[in-house]
Amino acid sequence: MRKTIGKAAVLVTSVALLAACSTSGDEEGTDESMSPEPTTSASETSDAIDATGQTLTIWTDANRKPAIEAAAATFEAETGATVELVEKNFEDIRADFLAQVPTGEGPDITIGAHDWLGALVTDGVVNTVDLGANASSFSQVAVDAMTYDGQVYGMPYSTEAVALIQNTDLVGTEAPATWDDMIAAGEESGAKYPFCINVNGETGDGYTMYPFQTSFGAPVFVQEGGSYTNEVGMGGDAGEAFATWLSENGEKGAGHLSTTIDYAINNELFNSGDCAYTVAGPWALGDFADVNFTVNAVPSAGGETAAPFVGVQGFYVSSQSANALLANQFLTNYIATPEAMQALYDADPRLPAFEGVDTASAPFPDAIAGFQASAEQGVPMPSIPEMGSVWDFWNAAEAKIIKGADPVDTWNKMITDLTAALAG
């Protein structure tokens, strides 16, 4: 008997507590009559949320959040929709987007890099977009990068590429024409190292080294009419010439390239004036506070144009978005406008992918011009899904050659392994 009283008491009180929470002021009653109450009040609440308008969920990283917030505020004011900005680490977005979109928990729009595109398309999580009325204002290399199999899947807003950064106190502002000129000038300046480059320690870094590779005419994949084929293009004589060059300048050769240097060490060396020249991207500029520098295009080492990889960042729309209309409305009318693009640039200065953005507001306006010059002679980084396996082989082979392994054998073995892996 006591047991029953206890149970009833608990049910009544807990339900009462619950009712108090949901501010529906119920009178005391038996548990049977009470139990349906909370359920109804809950469904009322959810209906109420629906009626206040739609919610557009956007994933962004911390840097770009303020810029998107500005666009979102205008959007909210004009359409009555709510924009929910979810801040995430940029590095996590790719994997999370791939995993969350199929479950329906993903965002409507996400910030992303163009080299994810291959994976996003084969995993079926991304929708095509239309660039809208201002389509012609986007830079062609950026739109090409966001294009996969002839369809545009992302709205680009910034580009980035590595360039040659030189210490003006040591070697002046003049851009060296070739690798040899640069090394000569660097040695003459009396700097401890004429040239430093991030090799990412033992891992190797084909990305930063790529302009030198393309100057030998050895692109990673054969390009056909703007888009990449999956045929490896860095084999043959051109590739071997580049490998030999790596070896000659590596640890057992001239020593300009070394696996002891990773990103942090490279920036430290340049910032302390130990290096006359380095190759780095705009993201490294913050680390160069103690030196005067200028930015130029990367000089050629093998005779042809030194074309760096151009990375593009932009907005993707989820293929499972329940608010596709709203998402496209936001992108075409509130992001693809000169004002919004300017706001994005002001909040997080990266080379704009949109014509007419005033780059004077950046902390290093001159440097931005140098990076833009470098990006103009660049090629988009391939976004085909095969790129994932390429990095592993490619970086490792470069690191080995720099450490002193036989260049031609190592390079050719890498090409063989890579071709086999791509075929399998």
Partner 1 sequence: MSTETTAPAPSTGKRADSHSRRWTGLGWGFVAKLLIMMIVNAFGVSAIMSAWNAQAWVILGASIVLLVVADWVYFSRRMLPLKYIYPGLVFLLVFQVFTMIYTAYVATTNYGAGHNVSKSQAIDAALIQAEREVEGSPSYPLAVVRDGDTIGFAISEDGVVEVGTAEEPLAEVDGAIDDSGRPTEVDGWEIVKVNELLSDQALAQEVTDLRVPVSDEADDGSLRTREGSTAKVYRSSLVWDEDADTLTDVDSGVVYTPNDRGTFVGDDGSTLPAGWYVNVGFENFTKAVTDPEYSKPLLKVTAWTFAFAILTVASSFLLGLFFALVFNDDRIRGKKTLRTLFILPYAFPAFLTALLWRGMLNPEFGIINKWFFFGADINWLGDPWLARFSILFVNLWLSYPYWFLVCTGALQSLPSETTEAAKIDGAGRWRQFRSITFPLLMVSTAPLAIASFAFNFNNFTIIYMLTNGGPRFEDTSVPLGSTDILISAIYQISGVAGGRADYGLAAALSIVVFVVVGLVSALAFRQTKKLEEF
Subset of residues 338 to 397 that bind partner 1, contact rule: CB under 8 A: 385, 388-389, 391-393, 396
DSSP state of 335: I
Q: Choose between 67 and 117: whose C-beta lies nearer to partner 1.
A: 117
User: Can residue 417 be called a binding residue for partner 1 (CB under 8 A)?
Assistant: yes
Q: Is the distance from CB of 240 to CB of 411 less than 8 angstroms? A: yes
Subset of residues 17 to 36 that bind partner 1, contact rule: CB under 8 A: 17-18, 21
Chain centroid offset of residue 126 CA: 16
Subset of residues 229 to 268 that bind partner 1, contact rule: CB under 8 A: 258-261, 264-265
Minimum distance between the CB of residue 377 and partner 1, rounded to whole angstroms? 27
With CB under 8 A as the contact rule, the residue among 14, 168, 272, 361 that binds partner 1 is 14
Its sign, for the CA torsion 65, 67, 73, 79, is negative
Among candidate residues 36, 86, 79, the one with its CA nearest the CA of residue 57: 86
Subset of residues 83 to 112 that bind partner 1, contact rule: CB under 8 A: 94-95, 98-99, 101-102
- Count of residues interacting with partner 1 (CB under 8 A): 78
Q: How far is it, in rounded angstroms, from Cα 405 to Cα 266? A: 23
Among candidate residues 150, 92, 100, 90, the one with its CA nearest the CA of residue 125: 100
Q: What is the CA radius of gyration of the chain?
A: 27
Among candidate residues 111, 103, 104, the one with its CA nearest the CA of residue 85: 111
Q: Where are the beta strands (DSSP E) in 116-220?
A: 126-127, 147-148, 151-152, 154-160, 163-167, 193-197
Minimum distance between the CB of residue 330 and partner 1, rounded to whole angstroms? 8
Minimum distance between the CB of residue 401 and partner 1, rounded to whole angstroms? 13
Subset of residues 299 to 328 that bind partner 1, contact rule: CB under 8 A: 319-320, 322-326, 328
Chain centroid offset of residue 414 CA: 26
With CB under 8 A as the contact rule, the residue among 66, 201, 253, 273 that binds partner 1 is 201
User: Can residue 177 be called a binding residue for partner 1 (CB under 8 A)?
Assistant: no
User: Can residue 128 be called a binding residue for partner 1 (CB under 8 A)?
Assistant: yes
User: Can residue 198 be called a binding residue for partner 1 (CB under 8 A)?
Assistant: no
User: Can residue 125 be called a binding residue for partner 1 (CB under 8 A)?
Assistant: yes
With CB under 8 A as the contact rule, the residue among 27, 28, 32, 50 that binds partner 1 is 50
